[in-house]
Structures are given as structure tokens and as C-alpha cells.
């Protein structure tokens, strides 16, 4: 039996990744014949983007520990019940990170506790700007992939 082709609307693509260039390129590649083809294209297109496109995607996220949309809130569920001292460290770390790198701290938060997220943040503050941008881009790629996988399950 042949599975139906996979196509996401532009709003659905932007909900997965806030880069307009990524969403436009993915839209042009549709329809996908399989989930595997779609996920491979998503990764390939992501790494073909410019750092400016990556920064646009990062800016579509709320800061770790801040309220965002339902998707972001679910992804950051590890901070929901965190102790106040951990939340304070995350908020302070967010500010230091933004001052150092010029964009929000981005981490694939799914399945991570608030303690894990602050430990990752504090360790990443030691990176140089070029290294950190690549790490942040990889985290965004992982987030995008998780969101695409959730879309596939829900359809």
C-alpha cells in the first residue's frame, strides 16, 4: 500500500522552525514521499542556511524558563516545577548568555530537568562565539526534528 505524500502548510513549517528561509525551502521541496525523506530534507536544508537564518529561528523561541506558546511550554516542562534557586540561576544565565553571544540560550529542552538545563547553559558559556553558534544551531535542528516528528504522529 502506498502512503500518502506529506505536505505541511507554511504556518506548520514555521511552527517547527522559525526561520522563514528554512520554511520556504521546505515548502518548495514538498510533497515528501516518506517521513524519512522529510526529516532528511529538514536537516539538510537547516545546515545549508546562513547564521542569520539560524538567528531568526532562535528568536522564535521563548527564553528557557519563560512562558511561551503551548508547544514551547511542553518542551520546557522540566522547568515548570523547578526550585526557585534553579529558576533564578536560569534567568541570570539567560542574561549572561545573551550578553556574551547576542542571542537567546537555545537548548533542546525535551526530557531535560531544570538542573540539567542550567548545567548545560553554564558549561556553554565557556565556548567561543563560533563554537557556540554551531552548538546552538544543532540544538535548533534537534528541536525542529522533534516538532516534525510530533506533526507526523498527530496527522
Interatomic CA distance for residues 34 and 16, integer angstroms: 18
Backbone phi and psi for residue 32, each to the nearest 5 degrees, phi listed first: -95, 145
Whole-angstrom Cα Rg for the chain: 16
Choose, from 13, 42, 53, 61, the residue flagged as catalytic.
61
- Helix runs in 3-128, H state only: 10-16, 20-29, 35-48, 51-59, 70-75, 77-80, 84-101, 114-124
- Asked if 20 is an active-site residue, the reply is no
The CA dihedral of 53, 126, 74, 17, to the nearest 10 degrees, is 10
- Sequence-ordered list of residues with C-beta below 8 angstroms from that of 38, at least 6 positions apart, any chain: 6, 32, 148, 152
Active-site positions? 61
Amino acid at each position: 500500500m502506498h502512503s500518502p505524500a506529506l505536505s505541511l502548510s507554511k504556518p506548520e513549517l514555521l511552527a517547527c522552525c522559525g526561520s522563514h528561509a528554512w520554511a520556504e525551502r521546505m515548502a518548495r521541496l514538498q510533497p515528501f514521499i516518506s517521513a524519512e525523506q522529510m526529516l532528511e530534507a529538514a536537516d539538510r536544508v537547516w545546515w545549508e542556511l546562513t547564521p542569520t537564518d539560524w538567528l531568526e529561528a532562535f528568536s522564535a523561541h521563548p527564553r528557557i524558563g519563560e512562558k511561551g506558546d503551548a508547544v514551547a511550554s511542553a518542551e520546557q516542562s522540566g522547568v515548570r516545577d523547578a526550585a526557585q534557586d534553579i529558576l533564578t540561576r536560569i534567568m541570570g544565565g539567560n542574561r549572561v548568555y545573551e550578553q556574551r553571544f547576542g542571542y537567546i540560550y537555545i537548548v533542546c529542552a525535551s526530557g531535560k530537568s531544570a538542573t540539567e538545563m542550567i548545567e548545560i547553559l553554564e558549561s556553554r558559556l565557556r565556548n567561543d562565539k563560533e563554537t557556540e553558534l554551531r552548538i546552538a544551531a544543532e540544538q535548533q535542528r534537534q528541536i525542529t526534528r522533534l516538532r516534525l516528528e510530533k506533526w507526523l504522529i498527530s496527522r
